[in-house]
Structure 1
Amino acid sequence: MFFKPKEHEPSHIHALYGEHIGIFDLRTMEMTEGDLPKKAQELVKEWMSSNQKELLEMWDSQNLRKLPPL
């Protein structure tokens, strides 16, 4: 999962899985764009749920740091 610095709203992350990509809204944790397989989507949502507060703080501050894996 990754952010792009100074990215456009709404707050979101990009998730890569092999050749697939998904863009997930940080607040709803729903995939808004992409073709990630369902199982990968569920893993991303689980990880986001565990890190949602930190993800939103990083989005707002643009102070990016590594978060623990799932």
Structure 2
Amino acid sequence: MSHSSLDSQAERIARLEEHVAHQAQTIEELSDQLAEQWRVVEQVRSKLDRLTERFLALEEGSLDAPAITRPPHY
């Protein structure tokens, strides 16, 4: 192999290694973002569960609705 061919291959390998390094960094950033979003989803799910429980408790407490009567001005 000629000297220029070796230089060309070395440059190509260097570009590929740089590309792989950028991809690895991007994958790490995406993984971090996904983990953060999962934490947020879990927090929202927990809040929704608590709100659902409160709503159901309030709904149970309001089952005895007052009877419909005529307003006093009739």
Higher RCO by CA contacts (8 Å cutoff, separation 6 or greater): 1
- The structure where helix makes up a greater share of residues is 2
Asked if TM exceeds 0.5, the reply is no
Larger CA Rg, structure 1 vs 2: 2
Query: Comparing both structures, which one devotes a greater share of its residues to strand?
Result: 1
Taking structure 1 as the reference length, the TM-score comes to: 0.24
